[in-house]
Amino acid sequence: MKRRLATLALLVSASSAASLSAQWLTLPTPGIPRTADGKPDLSAPAPRTADGRSELTGLWRSRGVTGDLRDESKVHAWARTAMAEHESNFYRDGPHMQCLPQGPSYVAGAGGGGGSMRRIVQSPTVTAILNPDLTYRQIFTDGRALEADPLPIWMGYSVGRWDGDTLVVESNGYNDKTWLHPEGLQHTSLLRVTERYRRLDFGHMQVEVTYEDPGTFDAPLHAVVLLEYAADDEMLELVCNEASEGGTKHWVGDKTRDARAAAVEVAPEILGKYVGRYRGIWLDNPTTVEVTLEGGALYLSRNGGEKAELVAQSETTFVCSACQWGQPYVFTREGDGMASEVREVQVSGAWVFRRVQ
């Protein structure tokens, strides 16, 4: 059985694909600085706690990651080989595909499972970081030290200290079951992560991250994450569930070859009724999907990104063979044949995007 058929069997509704009209996504955040026209003033001065520390509390979204985290020249041969194997298997063994915690990949928002948004709750002795998939971190600032040989766990153990206005966090105790980014960079239980949180102004925070793992890297890897305050927004619950037993066991073969071999011809007048703009929630982010018709084929882009061809497998089902996981997109048609929504099918369910134009 082809990977495509196994994936299509997983077409179920995703709990986080809530309507964009949900009231909590539009409620104004209380107590934040605003401009004269009522918009959040993200350039206002950074707030401080009662004891004069930089205040990190708030809902934050990643707005960009730079650094050499994806520089394979520093990675040991065994890890590079593993990355190549993961790519050939459509990354099916990744924690995000197996509905497992993302572990240290959440630090740089690079896990592929919702790491772009997080809520920070700061107190004098502990700071908590809450993630959409219901995982969390505790950063203890009560003076304790990291254990030398802790029991390995998914999210690790973290302690923090203040260096001026910067919160310095050191973490260890990660198990070796997670990846550092979606392209399959594994690590060992020797991994140590150091983060430096510095709030630049009210709406922006910079996090400098250093990864050290002598079992995987020849030298430390780095990431610099820019976080933006997610004003007038809310973090939705993102529950990953295994939609069918053994759902990834058929994810084998070449996704481009398989999609082309199973391709069917769909009349241009049918394809034309799928063209348009659709909106929904992908992971925890409001997302716009644009579908265009070019040269007799449909193309899809997300949030203005690069276009990818959709290869027809039936009149309503298309495979994005150029996408990282080769996922299918399924259109829902009304009586006149006009598409009202498109669903991106993943192993854990489907993300629903409804037509807005």
Q: Are residues 206 and 270 in the same domain?
A: no
Domain with residue 262: its CATH number is 2.40.128.50
- Scan for tokens 């197996």, then name that residue: 98
Q: Are residues 72 and 176 in the same domain?
A: yes
Q: Are residues 198 and 306 in the same domain?
A: no
**pLDDT of 111 over the 80 cut:** no
Measured at the CA of 287, the angle between CA 89 and CA 233, to 5 degrees, comes to 120
Domain with residue 63: its CATH number is 2.40.128.20
Q: Are residues 287 and 138 in the same domain?
A: no
Q: Are residues 138 and 174 in the same domain?
A: yes
Winning range, highest mean pLDDT, from 24-33, 113-122, 153-162, 264-273: 153-162
- Confidence label for 176 from pLDDT (cuts 50, 70 and 90): very high
Q: Are residues 89 and 221 in the same domain?
A: yes
Residue 16 placed within a domain: no
Q: Are residues 257 and 203 in the same domain?
A: no
User: Containing H/E element for 81?
Assistant: helix 77-88
**What average pLDDT does the segment 243-259 reach?**
50
**Residues 6 or more apart whose Cβ sits within 8 Å of residue 6:** 247, 248, 249, 250, 251
**pLDDT of 345 over the 90 cut:** no
Q: Are residues 194 and 284 in the same domain?
A: no
Q: Are residues 250 and 289 in the same domain?
A: yes
Quote the domain boundaries for residue 160. Answer: 28-229
Measured CA to CA, the distance from residue 291 to residue 271 in angstroms comes to 10
User: What is the phi/psi pair of residue 354, to 5°?
Assistant: -100, 145
Measured CA to CA, the distance from residue 213 to residue 171 in angstroms comes to 12
Q: Are residues 245 and 221 in the same domain?
A: no
**pLDDT of 214 over the 80 cut:** yes
Residue 111 placed within a domain: yes
Residue 20 placed within a domain: no
Residue 186 placed within a domain: yes
How far is C-alpha 313 from the geometric centre of its chain's CA atoms?
28
**Residues 6 or more apart whose Cβ sits within 8 Å of residue 275:** 291, 292, 293, 298
* CB-CB neighbours of 109 under 10 Å: 26
* CB-CB neighbours of 190 under 10 Å: 14
Residue 236 placed within a domain: no
**pLDDT of 295 over the 60 cut:** yes
**What is the identity of the amino acid at 229?**
Y
Residue 234 placed within a domain: no
Structural domain count, the chain: 2
